[in-house]
Amino acid sequence: MARHRKRQDIKRDIVLKAKELFSQKGYNATSMEDICTITQRSKGSIYYHFKSKEELFLFLCQINIEEWVKKWREMEHKYTNTMERLYAVAEHFIDNFETTLMYATQEFVTSQIVSLTTVEKMVEISRIPNKVYEEIVQKGIDEGELKQDNVQDLMYIVYAMLSGLGTLYYDYEMDMKELKRMYKKGIDVLWHGISVNHTTA
């Protein structure tokens, strides 16, 4: 167990140092040699922990999303009702757009010829925050703020709305102020459909 934990700590240390490179140079322009230099490890050492740059980047994406969930856990207690939680989780979602690593992620997803295994792993990673959305919906139903409905259906609708509006940032180059306005409007429209009282903040 201790040996496994040590190996995970080493992997985490490697990807967190590599994160700086991916953020600065993007995915394609970052080489394994660059990663060896910044981590001060040999190529053999890197390949012992990661079979490829692709696998390393996937592990970094996973850590990044797990950190996103952890930060949400630290702040979720501040919100007293479902609408506040929906607004807050949308803003928390947007915060990821302001990290330069997101550009490397977009580059990785759109410019790589990836294997089925990689696609499946990316899908698995992208589903990590779904637990957060599901809990918000379930709590809203339990507290009588949301209509009785299929929790998973509503969770997927929240996920799709947050992810879908994200294309405005990349495909339409919408600035952050306008994007935040669109996300707030998206939550308002969603709230009208799923809430008991149809009120907006």
Which domains does the chain carry? Answer: 2-194 (1.10.357.10)
Residue 200 has pLDDT above 50, yes or no: no
Interacting residues of 148 by C-beta distance below 8 A, sequence separation 6+: 141
pLDDT attached to residue 118? 84
pLDDT tens profile 72-103: 999 999 999 999 999 999 999 998 776 668 78
Beta-bridge partner residues of 146: 195
- Pick from 104, 110, 8, 96: which is nearest to 53 by CA? 104
* Number of C-beta neighbours around residue 142 at 10 A: 11
Burial readout 177-191 (b: 16 or more C-beta within 10 A, e: otherwise): eebeeebbebbeebb
The answer on pLDDT for 67 being more than 50 is yes
Structure tokens at 121: 């792993």
What is the C-alpha to C-alpha distance for residues 187 and 86, in angstroms, rounded to an integer? 7
Average pLDDT over residues 179-190: 95
Q: What is the chain's mean pLDDT, rounded? A: 89
